[in-house]
Structure 1
């Protein structure tokens, strides 16, 4: 691919399979930048030789993602593992359990960011779902308080 297209400089793998990611690193890691594309693969991908990550959950937890990357780079694998566990928990709710766009917008709104509602055909999360997103944000230390005022 790179011999035919000189402007290709990297690959983002969103497949989520460690074995496939490892094979990608083995085959093209010396020629291309390889990036993790799913939040639950950041630390495993870095350990396999990824150069970084582009993940949806970073919209909600950018500092957590940067802290994970920095912990890995300085060799603090225990801290990196701790942060990956938090990222996985958040990723399960805002990327996998509910509509990703709606859940990310809900989470960002709960964090005080004015992002508006999802556009058609997507709908905002319901009260129950927003409460769950809040609970997860609180459990991983991204937000404080008693919960969203949904009245």
Structure 2
């Protein structure tokens, strides 16, 4: 369940900025139909940073309810305070959640030892599978290969979402870990190259609107058929890039509404509507991808 194309699901909101339940159901059904391997609920793309904890938990649990065991749900459970991350993780114990995606603590810039102790404490307080999440461009800290290797020794820390876009990281990590530790890309632009170098899948923003294509790319890649994987990926390359012209999830919510996958592209401040120039590039990319 933790390999292949996993979607970093957007959180659809109504005009008042509250969860749009009908749109969320439509999204979940869309991913089940197109054989996405799992859904990450309330991660970065799901706007975890602008939700309070009660909203965060309720959205994850409603996503789980809609899924109804048809697709695994991975809960975003990261926080910059270790105790908060533990409490959020424990909230999903025995809920039916398949695992947790836990981002490195943001803003307070911990040392490598601080990062190790943070994830160690979470691991020791839950039996849920844990996927580490490294995205230095957002958090201000970088989980380095030697620290990942130390953490990989914990039984329930099963992999990492590596979103640096630095392909040299893969071999550095692989040299230090066992083969069963999952390496998952968090960068759509380099995801296929990541898999060709030994990665196991991608937690994808692009999959929100190109679920079938991302599933096919990953399935071909996992079978070492990179010729066919690249044929599909080449059609999506402009989209991979356009979705990050402005801060995620601003572009993906706009284009998801444009494509009829959600009713509204409502964002919470400080996220704002995208510029007209970005809209034009997104429309061009979607047309190029033949979505």
TM-score (normalizing by structure 2): 0.45
Relative to structure 1, the CA distance from residue 94 to residue 119 in structure 2 (aligned partners, 3 Å threshold; closer, same or farther) is same
Q: What is the Cα-based RMSD across aligned positions, in Å?
A: 1.8
Identify the residue that residue 107 of structure 1 maps to in structure 2.
255
Name the counterpart of 2:53: none
CA contact (8 A) 1:57 1:91 kept: yes
Give the CA deviation at 1:29: 4.8
> Structure 1, residues 49-96: CA drift from partner, whole Å, max 9, x if none?
11111122222222111110122234432221122223331111112x
- 1:27 is paired with a residue of what secondary structure? coil
Count of residue correspondences: 140
Larger fraction in helix: 1
Q: Which stretch of structure 1 is more off in the superposition, 72-81 or 130-139?
A: 72-81
CA–CA separation in structure 2 for the residues paired with 1:51 and 1:68: 12
Query: Measured at CA, do residues 51 and 101 of structure 1 come closer, stay the same or move farther in structure 2, by a change above 3 Å?
Result: same
Pick closer, same or farther for the CA change 1:88–1:29 going to 2, 3 Å: farther
Q: Which structure 1 residue ranges, 5 or more long, are not aligned? A: 143-151
Q: Select the residue among 217, 229, 236 that pairs with 1:80.
A: 229
Distance of 2:179 and 2:223 partners within structure 1: 22
**1:58-137 paired onto structure 2 within 5 Å:** 58-95=207-244, 97-114=245-262, 115-137=264-286
Q: Which has the higher contact order (CA 8 A, sep 6+)?
A: 2
The normalised TM-score by structure 1 is 0.82
Find the partner of 1:2 among 135, 145, 152: 152
Q: Give CA-to-partner distance per residue, 1:117-137, whole Å, 9 cap, x none.
A: 111111112333223211210
Unaligned runs of at least 5 residues, structure 2: 1-150
User: Secondary structure, in 3 states, of the residue corresponding to 2:161?
Assistant: strand
The 3-state SS of whatever aligns with 1:100 is coil
